[in-house]
Amino acid sequence: ARELRLPASGIVLRYPALRVFHANGTPREVVRPAVPVDIVAPSGGPGDPILYQALKLLEAV
């Protein structure tokens, strides 16, 4: 694990540093969702852009 000390508070953050893999061996950073969602500039309805795209996908089924 890696750690980072916040300078103002002195709080230490610890986070894992191991690479993560999909069950099929693909590195996590290579895996892409079937429905891309731009959360910086979302298109569609108001509110949660991920939920909106999921509901849109379900309506198409």
Domain that holds residue 38: 2-59
Q: Would you tell me how many other CB atoms lie within 10 Å of the CB of residue 21?
A: 13
Q: Using CA atoms of 52, 36, 39, 54 in order, give the dihedral in degrees to the nearest 10.
A: 20
pLDDT tens for the 61 residues of the chain, in order? 899 999 999 999 999 888 889 999 999 999 988 888 988 888 777 789 999 889 999 998 8
What per-residue confidence (pLDDT) applies to 59? 93
What per-residue confidence (pLDDT) applies to 8? 97
Give the SS3 label for residue 4. Answer: strand
In terms of DSSP H, where are the helices of 4-61? 49-59
Total domains, the chain: 1
- Predicted TM-score of the model (pTM): 0.51
Q: Would you tell me how many other CB atoms lie within 10 Å of the CB of residue 53?
A: 19
What per-residue confidence (pLDDT) applies to 42? 82
Query: The tokens of 43 are what?
Result: 């298109």
